[in-house]
Chains A and B, each alone.
Chain A
Amino acid sequence: MNVLGIRNLNVTFGTEGGPLRALRNVSFDVPRHRIVGVVGESGCGKSTLINAILGLLADNGQVESGQILFEERDLTQMDSLEMQAMRGSRISTVFQDPMGALNPVISVGKQMLHIQYRSDLGRTEKNARSVEMLRRVRIPDPKSALSRYPHEFSGGMKQRIAIAMAMMMEPVLLIADEPTTALDATLEVATIELLQELQAQIGCSVLFISHHLGVIAELCDDVVVMYAGEVVERGTTRQIFHDPLHPYTERLLRCDPAGQSTRTRHLPTIPGEIPDLRDPPKGCIFADRCDRRETICETAPPEVEMGGHRACCHRVKP
């Protein structure tokens, strides 16, 4: 059963140069208790996707068509109050930048107390719950941490506090927006392990956004590969990493520095740029940068499925 099902989602931003189609026909599922990774380079629509799910698109952004099914209900049809009721209780989020993610002038304890505003518990019980959550993310001396302010903690600790806040209401879905990108490598591993541990304890599903392939491979059960606002390939982590179907996924995996076995002065890159989404190409979105381009690529590619592994490419034959 799916916790989150995204169906043909189209999101458009009104800009001075005309409508910018940031997400086009995006579809994928987040099954219960699974960790789904979304991978793609900057500008592929990862942040737009998160904001669309949370109902926090900028004023000029709009869901044109499609559905975001969360526990069988379509989030795109909800009004702002219903969405607010979802956020923080059923759907929680950990953001990328731990330095700025917490309010600088409100103590950690107060912020954790505010998040629990929907709970019927008394103040003392709520604080006890905050202490318990801080203990679970291994904040030393969690009781006194409540009266401290974000700037008194290190970056890694702030990110763990943010995770504690996100997990506090025991959400059904946790959205993790590049939660380790701003951390150094050792903290990254610890944070990943912490997320895995809490996910197992609480039993939530996780939508994990990252451009770090190693982290995705380590943590996720399924992977969605996005390029320029479209899902080009999706499947299990094993399928994506061992048997990539789409040329973009292949090239992306080759660009991972961790996969380099020989010394080189030049890390591989994918030449070219993301197309202008105000006027996206008619055919395959990746055709301009693809080294195996054919004439047929000027028409829109079909989605081909093989045992749950899907890719949008003319070259893939079922």
Chain B
Amino acid sequence: MPNGLLQTVKDRLGFGALEYEVPEHSNSFKYSLGGMTLCAFSLLVVSGILLAQFYVPDPDRANSSVHYLVDQVWLGWFLRGIHFWSGDVLSITLLLHMIRVAFTGSYKAPREINWYVGVGLLVMMIGLLFTGTVLKWDQEAYEALAHFTWVADGMGILGLPLTERFAQGVPLLNRIYMWHISLLPLLTVPLIGLHLFFIKHHKLSPLPDQSTDAKPIRFTNHLAYLTRAGAGIFLLICLLALTIAPPLGEPPVAGMEVTKPPWQFVWLYALENLWVPFLVVAPLLGILFLLAVPIIDRGPETHWKKRPVATWVLIACIVLSVALILWGKFTTMTHSM
């Protein structure tokens, strides 16, 4: 009888449509990183909605409202920890996902468009991460915003909508809050949908050395695997939130620069130390490089051993990024102009 009920529910809700075949390697860590990223993003959305109930997006009260949440609201500190660590875990799974896609040449035909959608999602995540950093409105947030306005000014007319001059009299913090909870999620969710659609349409990219008669599994099996992965991600985030409190400073003091950005941005901080205009140039070059990848590397070969140039470029990018992050974290910046 329960099986009959289950079948009825499946029929009515169309769950049978999820029984399509996917490659067996779907149920592997490497090919589930995107799903894990989505799990972390879902956690960010849920915890973010709850956090928004307590946040006051006003420069005079923003910082104190976060302090109030952390110190006085029941489980408020845990909620903020969940949100913060979800962002960090998402950053890691997203980067690993990108590296996997690049390593296995999964951006090649016919999946170029999905690579571009992924680049768009990367930009959205960077935007969400940055705006989230600013919202707590402490010294780190203020300095991050000051750098942002400097970059926006450097972009001329293109950067005008990102500056205070665009809506004079409205504190930029209010608008950044709107971007964080409204504009960027509204852009992100359709991109996620598009990303998933193209994965379904073109099917999961095959293993580089896979024979054509690989054993398939059902997509519901993959969903079960992703559920387990999601549970693991949630456990990890809970453990982190339970033990380590995210940084939260006091209200900012104008005209000072004493903090460093979050690790996701610290590579840019290091480059800035070499040449300040890198703040504008480096992100643009990075995005252009990512967009150019499927255009430059168009050969049919996907195995890393058979495309050494692409592999070495990938390794160089990883080493450079890690080096810049470590340099930015552990050295003293002089910002010589």
**Does B associate with A?**
no
A contact set with B: CB distance below 8 Å: none
